[in-house]
Every structure is written in C-alpha cells, then in structure tokens.
Amino acid sequence: MNFDAELITNLLTCEKEIIHAPGKVKLERGHYRIEFELQSVDKEFYFKGFGRYNSVFNENFLIGLVYNPKHEKGVYEILRCNGPQGEHKMFPHHVHFHIHKISTEAIEKDLREDCYVEITDKYQNFEDALKFFVKYIHVKVEDIKRYFPGQDLQTELFNFEK
C-alpha cells in the first residue's frame, strides 16, 4: 500500500458512518472504555473508534481512530486526542491537551501509531474532545446525533449501572 500524505488526508477527511454503535461502557483497570466501528460512506476504508476515560483523574482521557486496511495485515492508529497525562521528562507534551497524528515519516519507519504531536486548545475535557473528534474525522451528522446525542456526552456515555 502506498501510505502517503494524500492517503492520510483521505483517511481523516472522508465522510464516515458508524456501522457498529458504541456498546455499553466497560470499566477496566481504572478506565471507562468505549469502542465503535466506522467505515467511509463509499465503503473504501474501515476504522475503529475508541475512547478511554480515567475513573479517578477525569482529565486523563483519550479518543482515537484506528485504520484497518482491507488488503493488509495490521492496523494504523492515525489520530488520538488526549487530555493531560501528567508531567514526564521524556514526553513534555503530556502536561497539555494534545493531539497525536500519524505521519508519512512514521510509516516509512514502520511505526503504526501516531507520532506527530500537536498541543491544542480545541478541547478542555472529554466531552469537548469527543465533539471535536467526531467532527474532525467527519462522522456523518445523522450518526453524531444518533449515537452521541445531547450536550453532555460525558455523562451520557459514562453513565452506567453498577
């Protein structure tokens, strides 16, 4: 596969529809987790969306998009929106809200995850990050309304019976 800048742009900007809705939220190892599956409306590309939210430190979250090529083994994490994860000498961006994106340089080095880091002010909590994420990756408006309704996405997504 020719994984170049044009393909990365197409993967991020193609309109997507949710084909498997976010299931019931699971609490695993201190994080609430959601997953859902998407495909491009032309059915050319297949993706997995995921979210994780720390049960104690609500600013520690991530929402990501993984591309699963049809004719190749393996997957590529192409986008991840993160909250602050605490100070770390090797990763100074961890104290900020930030976005990871895949790059052609990472692909050339056979890295299948998002290496490029961008500090952001586009969101300040999980709810805003999820709103940013579904718009940024071009999820169909009807699917956003159907699967992520209301103003308080965090409460709705992570409200479950114990």
pLDDT of amino acid 1: 62
Question: Which token pair is 120?
Answer: 């952001």
pLDDT of amino acid 23: 80
| Residue 131 DSSP symbol | H
pLDDT of amino acid 95: 60
pLDDT of amino acid 81: 94
pLDDT tens-digit readout, 50-66: 999 888 887 889 999 99
Give the residues of the chain that fall short of pLDDT 70: 1, 85-95, 111-115, 150-162
Taking the C-alpha atoms of residue 115 and residue 158, their distance in angstroms, rounded to an integer, is 28
Taking the C-alpha atoms of residue 122 and residue 38, their distance in angstroms, rounded to an integer, is 23
